[in-house]
Amino acid sequence: MRSEQTIFDELAGICTSPGYVHAVAYLCSRDNLIRYSGEMKAEDMQHLFSKSRLIRTETSTLIGLMLKSEIDYAIPAPQVLEKYIESTESLLEEIHHAMSASVWQDIDPAKIAETDFNPFTNGAALREPIFYGGESAYSFQYRDFSPAKYAIDDPWLVANKGFSIQDARNVCFAVSRLQEEKAINVLQAMRGAPQGSWTFLPGNTFSAQEIADYGHIDPGIVDKVLSAFAVPKGERNGQFKALHDFNIANASPLIRTPDGKYLLFHIYSLAEALYEAPFYWMGADKAYVSTAMQNRGLFTERFAVERLRQVFGPENVLANIDIFESKGTRLAEIDVLVLFGNRALILQAKSKRLTLEARRGNDLQIKDDFKKSIQDSSDQAYRCAKLLEEGTCYFKDAAGNAVTLPTSLKQIYVICLISDHYPALSFQARQFLRFAATDTISPPFVMDVFALDAMTEMLSSPLQLLSYVDRRTGYIDKLMASHELTILSYHLKQNLWLDEEHDMVMLDDDISADLDLAMLVRREGIPGKATPDGILTRFSATALGRMVKAIEAQPDPATIDLGFALLTLGEDTLFDVSAGIDQLAKQGVADGKNHDLSVGLGSGSTGLTIHCNDDPIDVAGPALQRHCHARKYTEHAQTWFGVCVRPSDKALRFGLNLDFPWEQSDTMDALTKAMGKPGKLTALLREAAKARTKVGRNDPCPCGSGKKYKKCCLA
């Protein structure tokens, strides 16, 4: 097998061939355009997950190598262009194989048999997931988060670059929309043209005036923005001598053409540069670099606060909470604290990126970057969580006001948040992150701002989001995916739940297509489904779905636990229990009597008793308590939930939760001696179906309206 460097050098020779720019234009168009008719569907995006598709790090490599000589824009003959494409794909595949094989070159065979042997902690092994890992951000997130990221730095940008960050965002937006229109026009133009003149390049080319006209932006501003992101004149990318070297094409994605226009092969690259490059511009100003660093950290914290308040409300999301011991000594600071019932979420934010040296596979640098980005954040969060758990400290907000916490917390979730795309983040966290979770404190959930944005966008209610965090952290060692968006998409479709028999579950990138589509619809206005078919569409209209909403409105600790339990139910159980509640309510309205139902949930360690009545609370409450206690005992359950609903509208009146170990009791044996097994839910549903078939046209409607069947539900 040839060395990676040998293959890279051969690829460089092809990329500087006459007319190669048209091969790049074709590959970028083939692998990134989404074609659809009417509404976009997830199936329209499947080619984006094809194993034969070139990923952006590969196309950026081609562009970077092409810049090593002056670009020849002449259109090559069709057979020459085809040869360019075939050779490029073959060499890129060979590079991938060479990189994979290099993992084992420096490993001592004797160590493979050792029980703690893990080849994925060395730099050579991590180069592959770092280079080939999926993108963790959407291009519109890069574009639209940039104004918030650099808003405080606007005076520096205006003074030194001649434009504001909002100006740059608007130019980026105009470029993306214009290129979409041009791509369609190019495809239509090629239909009637001879094959020898076919090229996708016009779809990637535009002038500053075109952008100014399209976006209604001052031409002078447009020219300054485009110039800031363009490869400097005469630049030949001399530092780019190996795959992981600095590549000017990443920092400066725009290429000036001989006729004064600009060439952009991938809008994602411009959006990413918009999000990242200004920090490096400011970093080169020694007088401003410390301010730029401070502002970047502020953005991450403020972003988290804003997104979490959209879900939990401003009163439940606190920022910059100081922790003091009894003598007044400051022990730690929580960046963001979320309180919801008897649960808390601690978020620590960091802004450290993966360095170029780490991307090259330098073991020490990879671990140093990880420590500064993730491990330090996790350690700080765990220190705060333990102080929270102990309950002996007092807390103050940034203004010095005392913060009152719940007397006891059932669960404390830990989130480590970073502000930038961190290649192979979940993979590295799996290899390097060290923590000591407890029964109360969860394993750390490591994510970037882009994942947090998608989670809070799709799981926009407190129980939905916390339930997902609870399960995601519970499967920290069982789930593998290239990035968090894949796991979130799976949850939205299937409800994240893994049986104990599964030691490891790997999710492929194409699972994220439904989430990708939903985010495009919501953020870019693409016609299509804004919510994937799954837990958010099939759950809300059921009796249990409405119950979860009621629990969120009044987050009592007893009912919050029930909400968590309900959100983990399988679809069949969810619909059956909801139908059971509907039937209890119908019976209660029809005969005016009290009705109840008990069912086991999950593996049998918990269950639910439902009472349907209008009894006064001082009567209904103790009755439900006694019933749940007895049923918990007969079923040998650790926990048992009880709810009381109104017959008229099935609204939740109140709930309770019994949570303590089961123990044999002579008293309980006597009390429950005559108590049979819980009624079968299926029997209740069969009874309901049977009753429906027997209702005559002139009989009272079983819905309880008081009308005749023929004038009510039959009509």
The residue-averaged pLDDT of 660-685 equals 79
Rounded Cα distance between 702 and 699, Å, is 9
* 707, pLDDT greater than 80: no
Rounded Cα distance between 279 and 295, Å, is 10
Complete domains list, the chain, with CATH: 4-283 (no CATH), 305-477 (3.40.1350), 543-679 (no CATH)
* 686, pLDDT greater than 60: no
Pairing state between β 639-645 and 411-418: unpaired
**Within 13 Å and on the Cβ side, how many CA atoms surround 578?**
20
Rounded Cα distance between 491 and 512, Å, is 10
Quick check: helix, strand or coil at residue 288? coil
Beta strands in 398-501 (DSSP E): 402-403, 411-418, 441-448, 479-480
Query: What's the token pair of residue 155?
Result: 């005076």
pLDDT digits (tens, 9 = 90+) for 523-556: 999 999 999 999 998 888 889 989 998 888 887 8
User: Do residues 69 and 236 touch, judged by C-beta distance below 8 A?
Assistant: yes
Apex CA 346: angle with CA 341 and CA 349, to 5°?
Answer: 150
Quick check: helix, strand or coil at residue 531? coil
Rounded Cα distance between 710 and 715, Å, is 6
Quick check: helix, strand or coil at residue 323? strand
Binned at pLDDT 50, 70 and 90, residue 691 comes out as: very low
pLDDT score of 134: 82
User: Do residues 254 and 262 touch, judged by C-beta distance below 8 A?
Assistant: yes
Quick check: helix, strand or coil at residue 240? coil
* 693, pLDDT greater than 50: no
pLDDT digits (tens, 9 = 90+) for 590-605: 999 999 999 888 666 8
pLDDT digits (tens, 9 = 90+) for 202-217: 999 999 999 999 999 9
Q: Which amino acid is at 52?
A: S
Pairing state between β 317-324 and 330-340: antiparallel
Integer-rounded Cα radius of gyration of the chain? 30
Rounded Cα distance between 378 and 347, Å, is 9
**Within 13 Å and on the Cβ side, how many CA atoms surround 298?**
12
pLDDT score of 692: 44
> With 0-12 CB in 10 A as exposed, 13-18 as middle and 19+ as buried, what is 281?
middle
Rounded Cα distance between 549 and 554, Å, is 9
More confident residue, 277 or 575: 277
Apex CA 658: angle with CA 672 and CA 468, to 5°?
Answer: 135
* 516, pLDDT greater than 70: yes
pLDDT score of 539: 84
* 564, pLDDT greater than 60: yes
pLDDT digits (tens, 9 = 90+) for 363-395: 788 888 889 889 999 999 999 999 999 888 999
User: What b/e readout covers 644-674, taking b as 16+ CB neighbours within 10 angstroms?
Assistant: bbebeebebbbbbbbeeeeeeeeebeeebee
pLDDT score of 688: 47
Tokens 């970077």 locate to 64
The residue-averaged pLDDT of 155-168 equals 98
User: Do residues 225 and 146 touch, judged by C-beta distance below 8 A?
Assistant: no
Q: Which of 62, 60, 277 is nearest to 168 (CA)?
A: 277
Q: What is the mean pLDDT of the chain?
A: 90
Rounded Cα distance between 53 and 33, Å, is 12
* 163, pLDDT greater than 50: yes
Q: Which of 154, 168, 146, 152 is nearest to 449 (CA)?
A: 146
Tokens 């809008």 locate to 267
pLDDT digits (tens, 9 = 90+) for 422-445: 888 888 888 889 998 999 999 999
Alpha helices in 16-122 (DSSP H): 20-32, 56-66, 78-101
pLDDT digits (tens, 9 = 90+) for 410-420: 999 999 999 99
Maximum mean pLDDT: which of 65-79, 317-331, 497-511, 563-577: 65-79
User: Do residues 323 and 330 touch, judged by C-beta distance below 8 A?
Assistant: yes
Lowest mean pLDDT among 98-107, 465-474, 510-519: 98-107
pLDDT score of 275: 97
Q: Which amino acid is at 454?
A: A
**Within 13 Å and on the Cβ side, how many CA atoms surround 255?**
29
More confident residue, 218 or 341: 218
pLDDT score of 106: 63
Cα separation values, 101 from 1, 96, 112, 713, Å: 9, 9, 16, 69
> What percentage of the chain carries pLDDT values higher than 70?
92
User: Do residues 434 and 375 touch, judged by C-beta distance below 8 A?
Assistant: yes
Helix axes 289-312, 267-283, angle to 10 degrees: 130
Helices and strands counted in the chain (H then E): 28, 16
Rounded Cα distance between 210 and 187, Å, is 20
Rounded Cα distance between 103 and 123, Å, is 9
The residue-averaged pLDDT of 307-312 equals 97
